[in-house]
Copies of this chain bind each other. A is one copy, B any other.
């Protein structure tokens, strides 16, 4: 192990039993990325989130919001009106994470053309090998 890699707090995401490893696991979800990015500008209702994230199923959205709420990244507020209105917003910790995840999202958007090209080359190489 490289000592420079060590966290000053003694946490090490490379160790499966380290709590930070389970935090990485939680973050390893495109819906977590997108939900946190979507809430960055302010609170949204369930339906607004669903419309923003193309392709998310109601079940996946509920599951993602529950995980984010459980981990203290998102706060859920229920307004006692009829029908009840439920809104979600980032906590301070969630806002802190949102800055980083937005950079990942921007990186994905900025480098998508390069990666698409690399994928095209890889698949052409594969076809060539299969044909020879």
**B13 with A34: CB separation less than 8 A:** yes
**A21 with B30: CB separation less than 8 A:** yes
Between-chain CB contacts (< 8 Å), 12 pairs: A2-B41, A7-B109, A11-B108, A13-B37, A14-B34, A14-B53, A21-B30, A21-B108, A23-B112, A27-B104, A71-B122, A72-B121
**B30 with A25: CB separation less than 8 A:** yes
Q: Give the number of copies in the complex.
A: 2
Give the size category of A's interface with B: 35 or more
Q: Digitize A73-96: 1 where CB-to-B-CB distance is under 8 Å, 0 elsewhere.
A: 000000000000000000001001
A23 to B21, CA, bound (A): 22
Interface flag for A116 (CB, 8 Å): yes
